[in-house]
Amino acid sequence: MPIEPQSDAHVLKSRLEWGEPAFTILDVRDRSTYNDGHIMGAMAMPIEDLVDRASSSLEKSRDIYVYGAGDEQTSQAVNLLRSAGFEHVSELKGGLAAWKAIGGPTELEHHHHHH
Ordered by start, the domain boundaries in the chain are: 6-105
The residue among 114 and 2 whose pLDDT is bigger is 2
- Spatial distance between the Cα atoms of 66 and 26, rounded to a whole number of angstroms: 5
Specify the CATH class of 6-105 in words: alpha beta
Question: Could you read off the pLDDT of 19-65 as tens digits, one per residue?
Answer: 766 899 999 999 999 999 999 999 999 999 999 999 999 999 999 99
What is the model's pLDDT at position 9?
Answer: 96
What is the model's pLDDT at position 102?
Answer: 97
Average pLDDT, the chain: 92
The confidence band for 111, taking pLDDT boundaries of 50, 70 and 90, is low
